[in-house]
Amino acid sequence: MKILIKKFGKINSSVLLLCIIFLVLELIGHRHGETSIEDFTFFPAFFGFLSCIIIFKIGVSLRSFLMKDEDYYDK
Amino acid sequence: MISNFPPGLIMIIGALLIPFLPHIIRQIYMMILVLISTYSLTLGFGTHSAINLMGFDFILFQADSLTLPFAIIFHIAAALNVIYGAHEKHWKQHVSIMSYSGAAIAAVHAGDLFTLFIWWEATAFTSVFLILAGNTYRSYKSAFRYILIQVTSGMFLLAGAIVLLINDGSALLTKFDINSLYGQLIFIAFGIKAAFPLLNGWLQDSYPEASEIGTVALSTFTTKLAIFCFAKCFAGTELLIVIGAIMTFYPIFFAVIENDLRRVLTYSLNNQLGFMIVAIGIGTELAINGAVAHAFAHILYKGLLFMGMGAVLYRVGTCKASELGGLFKYMPITAVCTIIGAISISAFPLFSGFVAKSLIMSALGKEGLVLVYFMLLFASAGVLHHSGIKIPFFAFFAHESGIKTKEAPLNMIVAMIIASALCILIGIFPSTFYQILPYEINYQPYDFSHVVGQLQLLTFAAFAFICLWHFKIYPPELNSTVLNSDWVYRKMLPGVLIPLLKLVEKMNQKFEWILRISFTRTKLFLSDTMLKNKVFDREVGSDTLIVVQIFTVFLILIFIGQFFK
């Protein structure tokens, strides 16, 4: 635990801890979603993690043709 | 008389006195104006005031269950703006904010399209001064683009109103059919103000160029007025679901790469409007309640986030992620309030975003719109990424920027604390909040499934960001301009039109030259022929030549005409 905090930082480790707690919570109670696909175990967790990675990936790939110099419009 | 006075109008008229009052008294006076305006909200539902001009009934004050929540939040926002801007000693922005808020409130209570048009344009003309108050050459240019787009929207609205008046003989503000011409014109007018995809350029262009106080006011009224109008006139229009889903989706990627944090917030604003538009498109009672609740909550947390960034801009002079960082130790209260705004917009349970967004998500689930549901769920993770984490992280934490500053002025702090408190209170007491919604509702956002599902989604999205940052995969923020749909009229059209105009000018010159040459040559030829053959014993004058040439043209036309018989 101490190694994790040392390597990963206090805040980061606590977020990881929260992630684990919310996963465990699902195992204790019965969670059901608005749609049947959501009923899979840990679906929101996977969905949230993957969405964030996808957004990041697409965002970074858009940099090459959407990002221009700061004075682009002033030229 | 005073009891029939439309809400907001007193603020517009009262704003004329603001320049003549000294600084602090001015703020108290403005607060009193807002309070007087709220009195009209106690009159209950119905049409309270109308005037007949030129044979047309202008319905100035009409209240119903939909206008009430918007009127309440607009008044709260106006009061918060007065507090937030109290440090500003000059009267110009105060006049602008007061009349702008008043115009938006009056617009909400308009009962017909022509009254709405007047206030619609009034919001544009009063708010443009807030962008000019940015006091840079950029903001000056941006303000002109802003007013052009806003007036265009107004023209569409006016055109729609006139067509409707000619067709139906009245222009009452009711539900419109999207398949009619007037419906389409009005739809475009609302769509421009609601920053629909590809019509959204003005939003990201102008808002971040405004002054620190101006952006807070701007973020509240114009776009939410459009949302109100959609809810009133186009509830249940299926096209809105598609447009809204795209709106929630695509600004996320722009927000992720944008460097100016206030511009990130405008993309996020655009994405939040998408949630409301989807809900209006569904059109069920639950969905409309969701749209209104979301607009209400959104004005508070988005205003709070803009206040936080405004405070940073006021103290540091920049809002660029690449230049900020480590401000938490200098501006702890601003940081905490911004984080509360960020948590609210991310829709964490016990905060306002959660109780509002849950209504929309449930409405989508109930209607079985699975694809749109997942697009919005994806967008929710996106909101956490760009507004929930990026805004507070890059401003107050991230790397040490070396900037030394002090906490925001007291009035800013007070406004931020009030907004934060409201965000939390709405989150804790949803049933009280739901009472102001247009339709009666029996909804419980805090059940096990909702809470655990949402917490998993958000914490894991946050964890993904942490991994990206910790393992240095996240690229550094760069000083840059991110291209948006305003590129079309800022770069592409001038890029195409200016060379095209130059080409036309060149061709015109060439044409004139050819004409002149041919004219002289014909004249010479005719003179020669006439003199040689002794038709006339004099030279050909210009008048003869013109007659001959017109005659020739006619002959040619008649000759060509033969082939088309």
Percent of chain B residues topping a pLDDT of 70: 98
CA distance B442 to B220: 28
Percent of chain B residues topping a pLDDT of 90: 76
pLDDT digits (tens, 9 = 90+) for B313-327: 999 999 999 899 889
pLDDT digits (tens, 9 = 90+) for B112-133: 999 999 999 999 999 999 999 9
CA distance B79 to B414: 12
Q: What is the mean pLDDT of residues B469-489?
A: 87
- Type of residue found at A66: L
Give pLDDT, residue B2. 54
pLDDT digits (tens, 9 = 90+) for B371-404: 999 999 999 999 999 899 999 999 998 888 888 8
Which has more confidence, B294 or B538?
B294
Residues of chain A contacting B264 with CB distance shorter than 8 Å: none
Closest to B430 measured CA to CA, from B337, B346, B358: B358
Give pLDDT, residue B545. 77
What is the number of other CB atoms lying within 10 angstroms of the CB of residue B488?
Answer: 13
Give pLDDT, residue B250. 87
pLDDT digits (tens, 9 = 90+) for B192-207: 999 999 999 999 999 9
- For the record, the structure tokens of A43 come out as 């679906």
Helices and strands per DSSP (H, E), number in chain A: 3, 1
Angle at B229 between CA B227 and CA B230, to 5 degrees: 65
Sign of the dihedral defined by the CA atoms of residues B94, B98, B100, B101, in that order:
positive
Residues of chain A contacting B464 with CB distance shorter than 8 Å: 48-50, 52-53, 56
The number of residues in chain B equals: 565
**pLDDT band of B461, cuts 50, 70, 90:** very high
Q: Is the pLDDT of residue B26 over 70?
A: yes
Give pLDDT, residue B13. 95
CA distance B352 to B339: 13
Distance spanning both ends of chain B, measured CA to CA? 73
Q: How many CB pairs under 8 A join A and B?
A: 151
Sign of the dihedral defined by the CA atoms of residues B46, B51, B52, B54, in that order:
negative
Closest to B45 measured CA to CA, from B71, B68, B23, B28: B68
- Type of residue found at B437: L
Q: Cβ separation of B449 and A60 shorter than 8 Å?
A: no
Exposure string (b/e) for B215-246, b if CB count within 10 Å is 16 or more?
A: bbbbbbbbbbbbbbbbbbbbbebeebbebbbb
Environment class of residue B91 by beta-carbon count within 10 Å: exposed (0-12), middle (13-18) or buried (19+)?
Answer: middle
CA distance A11 to B466: 10
- For the record, the structure tokens of B26 come out as 């001015």
Beta strands in B227-349 (DSSP E): none
Q: Cβ separation of A29 and B468 shorter than 8 Å?
A: no
**pLDDT band of B356, cuts 50, 70, 90:** very high
**pLDDT band of B3, cuts 50, 70, 90:** low
- For the record, the structure tokens of A6 come out as 């040392």
How far from the centroid of its chain's Cα atoms is residue B19's Cα? 28
- For the record, the structure tokens of A64 come out as 């090459």
Give pLDDT, residue B55. 81
Which has more confidence, B153 or A72?
B153
Which has more confidence, B544 or B441?
B441
Q: What is the mean pLDDT of residues B277-306?
A: 96
Q: What is the mean pLDDT of residues B74-82?
A: 97
**pLDDT band of B535, cuts 50, 70, 90:** low
Q: What is the mean pLDDT of residues B512-535?
A: 80
Q: What is the ipTM of this complex?
A: 0.94
CA distance B378 to chain A (A): 6
Q: What is the mean pLDDT of residues B12-19?
A: 95
Environment class of residue B411 by beta-carbon count within 10 Å: exposed (0-12), middle (13-18) or buried (19+)?
Answer: middle
Q: Cβ separation of A53 and B464 shorter than 8 Å?
A: yes
Which has more confidence, B225 or B170?
B225
Given the DSSP bridges, would you call strands B46-53 and B56-63 parallel, antiparallel or unpaired? Answer: antiparallel
Mean pLDDT in chain B? 92
Residues of chain A with pLDDT under 50: none
Residue of A12, A34, A48 with shortest CB distance to B466: A12
How far from the centroid of its chain's Cα atoms is residue B516's Cα? 53
